[in-house]
Amino acid sequence: MLPSWCNKGVTVGVTSSRVSQRDQFLGQIDRLAGSSALHSSESLCKLLRYLAKQAIDHPGEPVKEYQLATEVFGRPADFDPQLDSTIRVQAGRLRTKLSEYYAAEGADDSVVVELPKGSYHVTFRQRPSAPRANAISHDSDTTAPAARPRDNSRIWKIAAVTFAVLFALALIALWSPEVLRKPVVTASANPPDSAPEAVQAFWKPFLAGPDEPWVIFSNAAFVGRPELGLRYYDPNHDSKDVVFDHYTGVGEVLAVHDLDQVFETLHRQLRVKRGSLFSLDDAKSNNLIFVGSPSENLTLTEIPGTQDFVFQRLPSGPRKGDLAIVNVHPQGDEPKSVVASPANSPLTEDYAVVALMQGLSQGRWVMILAGTTTFGTQGAVEYICRRSSVEELQRRLSLSKTGDMVPFEALLRVKVTKGVPVETQLVALRKRSQ
């Protein structure tokens, strides 16, 4: 749809000289907001309109990250850009969408909107109008001078030679032995860089809506000093000690990387936030993916959690105090509780929970990916990032590869070799009520 300043029957080149530059720029913003690249992202359109208005009304005045956080995205006054990358992520997404638009749908637009890297200042650039060889003037009855006569015979000779060369090359390619040996490949149901249908269906609850899901990764509270030794914070004895909450297990780090790769094939981005900065307001308004056990990702204790496979410290026995996963309602020969390898021996076995449940608000979802150690967490994430594993879950839940997912809880056994999860096995599975 053309902007309101483009009148029917008059070329854009003529019209652009009769409207103000401001109207041109705002018209281009409307065109962008309605394009296929941006129309489905309300948050990016809101950011684009704000940045455009700032650039037009306050040229040369820099836009601050804090300003965008509080005025555009409704972040609280204590927003700290060093701890929350929301604005940088959104600006990066907008920059990518603008590039996509001008590479395709907006390739012929007369006004180019850009967001330079490292800046929150939108720029407008007008493309020079290309001369039109046989354009008819609407403002004059003067007939254009006749074009110089061309050597038609020469043109036909060049065209004939070009056609002959192309035809010969086509015959050579058609009868080449390499071509004959290759089978005809039909178009795939998914582009090469897209996720398989089973993976798309599995993550579908987190793809609905304009906002990207949040990944909340664990960062446990420690006391002590890094160079002398750290231990978990105990509120009963360490209330006056300095708390270090900026350490995260290697398994969680690699897990976030795996999730990011999967969502890239789903053509969506993730927002990443450490657990200590999580709030209940985040839980009410976003789809959430928790990475890490409740012993380290303490925010899991603030929302409804798993019901069938629960993390608990063993109250007695030789492994007293160790973190275990308790099977609340064991079936058949399922274990009543499971623990990782003892702390005084090499870690060769761990257990993890994968759970999908409805969020605190209607239409929101929560995924929990947690092991009793960092390697179990990594194994859980790797499991749900593999097509074969996702298909196993769907089959065991009696779902088709393209059917809608249902809430569930799964218990996994993770085999670990030299600190690397090498094998993951589904031990038990429960389908939760909607």
- Same structural domain, 242 and 326: yes
Is 280:302 a contact under the CB 8 Å cutoff? yes
What CA–CA distance (Å, rounded) separates 380 from 355?
A: 10
Identify which has the larger pLDDT, 40 or 406.
Answer: 406
- Crossing angle of helices 387-396 and 374-384, in 10° steps, is 80
Write down how long the chain is.
434
Reply yes or no on whether the pLDDT at 357 is more than 70.
yes
Mean local confidence (pLDDT), 383-391:
93
Domain count, the chain: 2
What CA–CA distance (Å, rounded) separates 295 from 292?
A: 8
Task: Calculate the alpha carbon distances from 340 to 219, 252, 306, 307, 368 in Å.
Answer: 20, 17, 19, 20, 19
What CA–CA distance (Å, rounded) separates 364 from 205?
A: 8
Looking at residue 131, what is its pLDDT?
A: 47
Looking at residue 299, what is its pLDDT?
A: 65
Tokens at residue 304, please? Answer: 């409804």
| Domain end (from 80, 101, 126) | 126
67 is a domain residue: yes
Share of the chain above pLDDT 70, in %: 76
- Same structural domain, 114 and 208: no
pLDDT tens digits, residue range 206-247? 987 778 899 988 877 777 777 777 777 776 777 666 776 667
- Same structural domain, 114 and 210: no
> CA torsion, points 45, 107, 128, 123, in degrees to nearest 10?
30
- Same structural domain, 84 and 218: no
Reply yes or no on whether the pLDDT at 327 is more than 90.
yes
Mean local confidence (pLDDT), 149-161:
51
What CA–CA distance (Å, rounded) separates 200 from 189?
A: 12
At residue 50, the 3 state secondary structure works out as: helix
pLDDT band at 175, cuts 50/70/90?
Answer: very low
Instruction: Name the residue range of residue 305's domain.
Output: 197-431
Nearest to 413 by CA among 369, 382, 380: 380
- Same structural domain, 268 and 387: yes
Mean local confidence (pLDDT), 374-401:
93
pLDDT tens digits, residue range 156-168? 555 555 555 555 5
Note the maximum CA span of the chain.
Answer: 102
Reply yes or no on whether the pLDDT at 138 is more than 60.
no
Looking at residue 167, what is its pLDDT?
A: 52
> Given the structure tokens 């950011």, which residue do they identify?
47
Identify which has the larger pLDDT, 291 or 36.
Answer: 291
Mean local confidence (pLDDT), 271-278:
80
How deeply is 393 buried, as exposed, middle or buried, from its count of CB atoms within 10 A (0-12, 13-18, 19+)?
buried
- Same structural domain, 214 and 120: no
Mean local confidence (pLDDT), 386-399:
94
Tokens at residue 340, please? Answer: 């990782």
Least confident of 133-137, 269-273, 350-354: 133-137
Reply yes or no on whether the pLDDT at 185 is more than 50.
no
How deeply is 225 buried, as exposed, middle or buried, from its count of CB atoms within 10 A (0-12, 13-18, 19+)?
exposed
Tokens at residue 348, please? Answer: 């060769």
Do β-strands 214-217 and 271-274 pair in parallel, antiparallel, or remain unpaired? parallel
142 is a domain residue: no
At residue 222, the 3 state secondary structure works out as: strand
- Same structural domain, 246 and 390: yes
Task: Calculate the alpha carbon distances from 362 to 43, 102, 283, 287, 407 in Å.
Answer: 20, 37, 11, 11, 14
Looking at residue 417, what is its pLDDT?
A: 92
- Same structural domain, 305 and 224: yes
How deeply is 70 buried, as exposed, middle or buried, from its count of CB atoms within 10 A (0-12, 13-18, 19+)?
middle
Looking at residue 157, what is its pLDDT?
A: 53
Question: Across the strands, what pairs with 425?
Answer: 413
What CA–CA distance (Å, rounded) separates 305 from 387?
A: 26
| Domain end (from 89, 107, 126) | 126
pLDDT band at 29, cuts 50/70/90?
Answer: very high
- Same structural domain, 203 and 318: yes
271 is a domain residue: yes
109 is a domain residue: yes
- Same structural domain, 264 and 411: yes
Is 407:434 a contact under the CB 8 Å cutoff? yes
Reply yes or no on whether the pLDDT at 34 is more than 80.
yes
Looking at residue 229, what is its pLDDT?
A: 78
Report the chain's mean pLDDT, rounded to a whole number.
Answer: 78
- Same structural domain, 267 and 394: yes
Tally of CB atoms within 10 A around 85? 14
Looking at residue 73, what is its pLDDT?
A: 85
Identify which has the larger pLDDT, 85 or 191.
Answer: 85
DSSP 336-366: SEEE-S-TTS---EEEEEEEEEE-SSTT-EE
116 is a domain residue: yes
Tokens at residue 274, please? Answer: 């450490």
Looking at residue 7, what is its pLDDT?
A: 34
What CA–CA distance (Å, rounded) separates 247 from 220?
A: 7
Is 297:354 a contact under the CB 8 Å cutoff? no
Identify which has the larger pLDDT, 186 or 103.
Answer: 103
Helices and strands (H, E) in the chain, number of each type: 12, 14
Mean local confidence (pLDDT), 396-404:
89
338 is a domain residue: yes
120 is a domain residue: yes
Residue 433 phi/psi, 5-degree rounding, is -70, 150
| Domain end (from 126, 156, 180) | 126
- Same structural domain, 250 and 380: yes
Reply yes or no on whether the pLDDT at 414 is more than 50.
yes
